[in-house]
Amino acid sequence: MTLNRTVLLRLNSQGEPVVALSYGKGVLTLPSVPLPPRTPKGTPLFTVKLVITAGSKVSRDGLVWTNCPPDSDTEFDRHSFYKKPVGATFHKDDQIDLDIFRPGPYCFYLSFRNREGRLETTRKFYFVAPPILHVDGKLIKLDSVNLQTVVSKWMGEDWDAVFEKIAAKKYNMIHFTPLQRRGHSNSPYSIYDQLEFDPDYFSSAEEVKQMVHRLHTKYKALTLTDVVFNHTADNSKWLREHPESGYNAITAPHLIPAIELDGALLQFSKQMGQLGYPTDLHSLDDLKHVMEGINTHVMEVVRLWEFYVVDVRGTLEQLKGHWCKVNAHPELEVQLDSNSPAHEVARYIREHATVRPFGLLGARFANKVDIPKFGSVLQKLYGKDWNQDILSKAQEILNDLNLPLYTEYDNDTREIKNQLYNRIKYLRLDEWGPRQGPVNDRFPLTEPYFTRFKANDGEDYALANNGWIWASDPLIDFASSKSKAYLRREVIVWGDCVKLRYGGGPGDSPYLWKRISNYVIQSATIFDGFRIDNAHSTPLHVAEYFLDLARKVNPNLYVVAELFSGSEQMDCLFVERLGLSCLIREAMQAWTEGELSGLLHKNGGRPIGSYRFVPMDNFSYDKDIQLDENYCYQNTSDGTMKCVSEIMIPRILTAVPPRALLMDCTHDNETPTQKRTVEDTLPNAGLVALCSSAIGSTFGYDEIFPKLLNLVTESRTYDIHGSSGIGKVKSLLNDIREEINELSIDVEDSEAYVHHDEQYITFLRSDVKTGKGWYLIARMKFSENQSDQKLEPQTFAHTTVKSLFSYSLEKTGEFIDDPRSLRGVPTKLVELEGSQIHFDGNSKISTVTLPDYFPQGSIAVFETQHLGVDKDLDHFIRSGAIKAVGELDLITLNTLLYHSDQEENDITGGAIGSYNIPNFGKLVYCGLQGWISVLRGVIFNNDLAHPLSENLRQGIWALDYLIGRLDHCSQEPGVAAAQDWLRSRFDRIKQLPFFLRPSYFALAVAIIYGTCRLRAVQLMADMIGKSTLFVQSLAMTSIQMVTKMRSTSIYPDRMVPSMAAGLPHFSTGWARCWGRDVFISLRGLLLTTGRFDVAEDHILAFAKTLKHGLIPNLLDSGNNPRYNARDAAWFFIQAVQDYIDIVPNGESILQKKVTRRFPLNDTYVPVEDPRAFQHTSTVEEIIYEIFNRHASGIKYREANAGPRLDRVMSDQGFNVEIRVDWSTGFIHGGSQSNCGTWMDKMGESERAGSYGVPGTPRDGAAVEIIGLLKSSLRFVNELNKRGLFKNTEVKREDGSRITFSEWEQLIQDNFEKKFYIPKDHKNDSQYDVSANLVNRRGIYKDLYRSGKPYEDYQLRPNFTIAMTVAPELFTPELALGALNIADEVIRGPIGMKTLDPSDYNYHPYYNNGEDSDNFATSKGRNYHQGPEWVWLYGYFLRAFYKFHFVTNPACQSRDRKNPSSYLYQELSHRIDLHSQWIATSPWAGITELTNKDGEFCSDSSPSQAWSTACLLDMYHDLWVSFEK
């Protein structure tokens, strides 16, 4: 595997390919790029690298199964699958290489164990490696194929003369209708012998090979032949020897009624005159009379109902004879009784007592009941004595059993009559039909559906003829037992072709499979490609088998198909299963100019100005990934596939719509002369020629043949010396296609714009890399006598135009039929002059004005060049970004990438805010992420109509904004270089045509964004730089949340970066930094990402403000900190503990000194007071002070208490008291008037009477605080043992002392006794439980000894914090039980329900704007009473994996040292939606909370620091413990 032949295919967490939608429905298709010269044998043509999301559900015992052969020597067998194990790591996406050694269709699927432990597989996913075509050493790209169809029997004696004429028109492929010996009808598609070429032209297959070789070398043309799998000529000799190769009464007994009906119709056709019915139909009355005859002499005679129903009389006779032998049947459990209605008994009989298969057609009365079972049921219900009542009951049941069968018969009979009526009407009466005339042996009343003959075995056979059906399901063989098309007369039948019966595989019809295999091998050996005739009626497994066989002979076989499936989805299925190169489409199928323009739009190329794919925030970046400034440069000579940027991520395997072979006209459809006009031949051909697809034409189109030629009856030959029609123009158009072929490298290189204006269709085809284009104006002539129309002058912005040629097709005479030659309508090409081109140098606008004489049937072709676009532009924009961002640090990356509207306004003093896109709104970020969040979807869907696309086309405001907003910070590290890169690229983009601006803007923004993201992970810790997209996206929120502000800092005397609690709600001023939020988030956002300096700053800044033994809830730069958080001090100590645990030499922080914001007593002083910052403490001393103040009791009234501090707090609420209950060691605090934990919502509604009433006071001992206290005590005790913490004891309120070890043990001894609620009430005596307050058992209390005792017993997620930081407090089995309950009851899709749904206080919808009479919810008082908070999800997951790992063997690897793939699967299952959330959120973060079951909450902060931080914590745990 080499990078430049590798394509990536990303799989989502379900194991399904992630595919862009910019092309609509499509097939995963590899490029058609040959290997470089002198490539060693055995080198893969391509390597498809599957990227499997780390820890996804498919990684548990996961295997990738693929039919890609393991090496170049192993033949491809689509049914042979090779397995590749999926790695079970949780941090690194697994990559599995599928080497492709030859073109064709391939597939893979995954097997894995699901969450229930059962083996599960995904569906099969297909991708196609297209053929690589060469003719005489020259590469022919697939979209440059230009094909001419010839019908062999019309070629005449001098085939080379025809080839010369085709070569002169510059076609590069010739399509031959079947060259095999034809059947008696003389149709090329009714093949008499598949293994014999037409003896009129070829004496052997070798002569055909020589002809093909001559076409390759002399005429530079590839060859394509029809292959016919579906049928053979009705007179094929080999069919008499092997009638089992067709559908007959023996091989397909379900056709017996159809055979009998068809025979009766033929007999009636012969006897019509004798029976008094008209044989020459002239009116609907005649037809009505004939239909009466069919009813009398066919339908009544055939008695079709006998093929449907059970023979009631015969069955009753059998039943009577068998009655005495009937016994209770062991298989039957009859849940009926003698009073059950007959129709219910009949339904039971059909389901349990009929001979299988029941309900299918076959011989007369083939549907039967199982007599022993039927009798057993009757005896159970009605007794064992045979009598008249039993007989009557049996007859009633059988009649009811037959009722739906008679209904089916009635429906089918109606359809048979309807189909016969319409078909006879078409054949005899309709103006558009063939009007066959009198009924006779040659033209019977209706076509025979079966070919009848006596076979070599002496038996008479009737074999189903082939045909087609309107809107049929191509996956159903309409001659099989799954269809009644032959009986219902739904087939438009071809009487000269017998349908071939392949069955399920070679074993069902061995001779047929062998014969057609030889036919396929011979054809693939000689020709370069196949056209599969009637592909939609070819059984899929049959086509798969024979195309696989053909590719063994000719790996680069070009395969096109005539496919009328009726849906894009079905088209894709055929293409991916068969590896089709393209599907035939036809311009002459368009009935209007508008319809034609739509067809051209679909096949012309991507719309001009289309967005191009670049990895953005949808890829993980390995911090050690290779970089190469020149690697994005495309060199067509070496056969490589270059990356799209300097970051060497391989190309992405893309789903593209099935390629088209767009024919201007096919050999089996009407010509322009018939369907439109003679003159329309030229513009129709010109428009097709410019399409970005393979194109083709039938011989005679260019020569202006007047009508569709009958493949069966036509016997004349091509006139090669007559008028060339539009051949000269075709040659010129094909020269243009050749030039495009040389320029085009990638599927993204070709763009087109099609416009329809009544008679005019204009078509611009453009090469993206060079800006060169071709513009065609076509004036159509769909019909005669259309009004005159002038085309308005055509303008081209920033584009030069040069005239190439202009022609009109004029009819010069009436067509005269030649009895020997096939000739065209007399015409001439008239060269048109007088097109005017004006270029305005000031506006850089070109104007094209057509001459006055530009009649219908004309084209004008121009060469265009977009100004500013040259072959170096693309590389210029894609390169240099790595160097440009190389000096950015993580703070200036925040500047370049983020800044919410509020932050930008704050930093710039209101000078700059978010960019506002008209008709869309403001971007959520001013930096690149704001644009990427929009462009992500715009590029994915190629949304050129998006308001951003329109804004970019209308002006350069966005470009100026992105450069200008960096002026205020250009002196910061690395910003100027990044700004210069943007400015230089945007300067070039400003010179481009306005319609290209969105594409190039998006390209430039995506390129630099990707390099910024790479720069970010390179600056972060290995866990981030070596991890998954999800982990890296979580880590990017560390940059998102930390920046330098103007209105706030973490220090009162200097501006340094500070962490926002969330964006945008908590982004500026006093609302930015919250003690609790900072220290909950610090480990995940700062430590796991390696941002140790920022983490230290935050620890020291908050340490400065310690007061009352507490860390402030609100910091406000240290100016006016507020102390109303009982838990922040303990999250602070936990953060210090994490810092020491993670940071190298982290213990040194203990001796870092801080100047204290306040005096060491409880005196409050303003920041400017001389007493401020007079005392110095180390962090060690700060920690000790927290312990000591709590041990001795804390009691104070908040400084500045009153409405100015908190407008809704009651006066009592400002009083804070915290103490330790030394019987347990638990810290108790708070009151019913305040809320000192994170659940701090205060009632605000005067209307509801909740003003000043906390929603969740949580006074008493809060479970998470006790867990944090235990963790902190363990921490200082361990430090003490290492000589890093000098104090060993604290003074209690009564003056006594207690050691940290004793305090820790006190909590250890009491925690579960006080907090656990046993599953079994019989164990209540072992715990502190009031049974009358218990709502749910097997859980841990949320509180102990709160002011409302019932609140102790509420199930909330806070216990998971304690489990995570102090797992030693919990008995593992009890903890696991509680976690499992939480998993089932309060775990939401994204967050943790903050209250048990069974609690009467549960109100899961948060609406802070609600002002109602509802005490519980008005003004959002239920903030923490049910809404689902995300940050707790991280703690839950950490506890979940820890306790599952230690208690559940299924969660351990075999050596019990690592988590099992099952545990990873369970974790992945629980974070899958988080991954989706951050990937799709415009904020590129995860919300603060959701409403019930993950519903969006509009009042939630859309990106919250602790939401992502706590998930990173979980990943860090696993990384450090098991993966590092």
- Paired sense of beta strands 821-822 and 717-718, if any: parallel
Do residues 463 and 239 touch, judged by C-beta distance below 8 A? yes
Do residues 885 and 1008 touch, judged by C-beta distance below 8 A? yes
Residue burial 1304-1339, b: 16+ Cβ < 10 Å; e: rest: bebbbebbbebbbbbeeeeeeeeebbeeeebeebeb
DSSP state of 900: B
Residue burial 1103-1125, b: 16+ Cβ < 10 Å; e: rest: bbbbbbbbbbbbbbbbbbbbbbb
Helices 284-294, 388-428: axis angle to 10 degrees equals: 150
Position 539, amino acid: P
Residue among 254, 536, 667, 866 flagged as catalytic: 536
Q: Give one word for 609, left, alpha or beta, with left for phi > 0 and alpha for psi -120 to 50.
A: left
- Sequence-distant (≥ 6) Cβ neighbours of residue 1169 within 8 angstroms: none
Residue 623 to residue 1021: CA distance in whole angstroms: 9
Q: If residue 1012 lies in a helix (H) or strand (E), which one and from where to where?
A: helix 997-1019
Q: Token pair for residue 1176?
A: 């110095």
Q: What share of the chain is helix, strand, coil (3-state, %, to 5)?
A: 40, 20, 45
Residue 533 falls in the annotated catalytic set:
yes
Beta strands in 1395-1504 (DSSP E): 1428-1429, 1489-1490, 1503-1504
Position 1021, amino acid: A
Q: What is the DSSP string of 1280-1327?
A: HHTT-----EEE-TTS-EEEHHHHHHHHHHHHHHHHEE-SSGGGGGGS
Residue among 61, 143, 533, 1138 flagged as catalytic: 533
Residue tagged 């218990």 (tokens):
1334
Residue 685 to residue 914: CA distance in whole angstroms: 51
φ, ψ (nearest 5 deg) of residue 1149: -65, -25
Do residues 673 and 718 touch, judged by C-beta distance below 8 A? no
Residue 377 to residue 370: CA distance in whole angstroms: 11
Q: Token pair for residue 1292?
A: 């209690």
Residue among 97, 473, 628, 668 flagged as catalytic: 668
Q: Token pair for residue 945?
A: 């109509």
Residue tagged 């708070």 (tokens):
1230
Residue 233 to residue 236: CA distance in whole angstroms: 5
Dihedral (Cα; 1120, 1123, 1129, 1132), 10-degree rounding: -30
Longest dimension (CA), the chain: 129
Do residues 427 and 446 touch, judged by C-beta distance below 8 A? yes
Give me the helices (H) in 204-255, please.
Answer: 205-217, 237-241
Residue burial 376-396, b: 16+ Cβ < 10 Å; e: rest: bbbbbbbeeebeeebeebbbe
Residue 1523 to residue 426: CA distance in whole angstroms: 75
Do residues 1345 and 1329 touch, judged by C-beta distance below 8 A? no
Q: From residue 804, how far is each of 620, 759, 844, 1220 by CA, in Å?
A: 48, 22, 21, 93
- Rounded (5°) CA angle 1489-1492-1496: 55
Position 653, amino acid: L
φ, ψ (nearest 5 deg) of residue 1330: -105, 105
Q: Hey, which residues are catalytic here?
A: 533, 536, 668
